[in-house]
Amino acid sequence: MDLRFDGKTVVVTGGSRGIGEATARAFLESGASGVTITSRKPDNVEAAVARLGGDERVLGVVAAADDPEAADRTIVATVERFGGCDVLVNNAGTNPAAGPLVDVDLGAVDKTWRVNQLGPLLWARAAWHHAMAEHGGVIVNVASVGGMQPGRMIGAYNVSKAAVIHLTRQLALELAPRVRVNAVAPSVVRTKLSRMLWDGMEDHVAQAHPLHRIGEPDDVAASIVFLASDQASWITGVTVPVDGGATGASAPAGLG
């Protein structure tokens, strides 16, 4: 299967580390003519651009995921620099709101929901109005298995990712046939954002997955690249678990 993106331009939000950086690198290795990455912090943008090769195919933009002006500005800059925006990967996310929903700080909940569920809509709107309405394209959202089933301690995050899954279906309906919209739902992946879920207990967490390892950013990036490619041209509105079997190959509690 030849997953090539020659002549295509990609925007990856939250592209300065983890899944985002791995995704940007995967698109570059697949021949993308331009990849824009974003982060809230200038130093993170600069360092990631350098790690990605620092060449003319990489554009780094300082932009917050929940800022509509930043979304518009980034898509416009991408079109001006590379001539279009063919793929948008809504990867940026946050999880400052740990704890039971009945007790967790509401300010942290608001921030989590703004970044994780409003953010993808803001960027999809920007991509549509500045590029994809005329030329078509693909949007891939990064959800989570936490959006497919409840879990303890990160309820606000899980609710936000459930919203991303439904947003994916809604946008797939509204933007068809010009734009395909899909999502990936990772389980525990070795990233800074999810460190509290695996650090110091990797063996235990790995054994909780039928494939007996936690995920790596490249695992998720590969699925994103596939969904964005022409090989997936008849797929839209779906969420693909990338989870080591956590949702599809696990027995219900007490039955395994």
Question: pLDDT digits over 109-153, tens only?
Answer: 999 999 999 999 999 999 999 999 999 999 999 999 999 999 888
**Residue 195 — very low, low, confident or very high, per pLDDT cuts 50/70/90?**
low
CA distance 195 to 134: 41
Do the beta carbons of residue 144 and residue 185 sit within 8 Å?
yes
The pLDDT assigned to 198 comes to: 57
Q: Which tokens belong to 251? A: 């027995």
Do the beta carbons of residue 224 and residue 138 sit within 8 Å?
no
Please give the C-alpha separations between residue 70 and each of 39, 61, 65, 73, in angstroms, as whole numbers. 11, 9, 8, 5
CA distance 69 to 86: 20
Q: Is 157 marked active-site? A: yes
**Residue 187 — very low, low, confident or very high, per pLDDT cuts 50/70/90?**
confident
C-alpha radius of gyration, the chain, whole number: 17
**Residue 254 — very low, low, confident or very high, per pLDDT cuts 50/70/90?**
very low
Do the beta carbons of residue 234 and residue 182 sit within 8 Å?
no
According to the CATH classification, is domain 9-188+216-238 in 3.40.50.720? Answer: yes
Please give the C-alpha separations between residue 16 and each of 12, 25, 52, in angstroms, as whole numbers. 9, 11, 10
The pLDDT assigned to 253 comes to: 56
CB neighbour list of residue 144: distance below 8 Å, 6 or more residues apart: 157, 158, 161, 164, 185, 186, 187
CA distance 193 to 183: 19
**Residue 251 — very low, low, confident or very high, per pLDDT cuts 50/70/90?**
low
The pLDDT assigned to 188 comes to: 83
CA distance 15 to 21: 5
Q: What percent of the chain has pLDDT above 70? A: 93
Query: Which runs of consecutive H residues, i.e. helices, occur in the chain?
Result: 18-29, 42-51, 68-82, 106-113, 119-127, 133-135, 155-175, 195-198, 202-207, 217-228
| Higher-pLDDT residue of 204, 185 | 185
CB count within 10 Å of CB 235 equals 14
- The SS3 assignment for 151 reads coil
Which residue is catalytic, options 82, 157, 198, 226? Answer: 157
pTM score over 0.85: yes
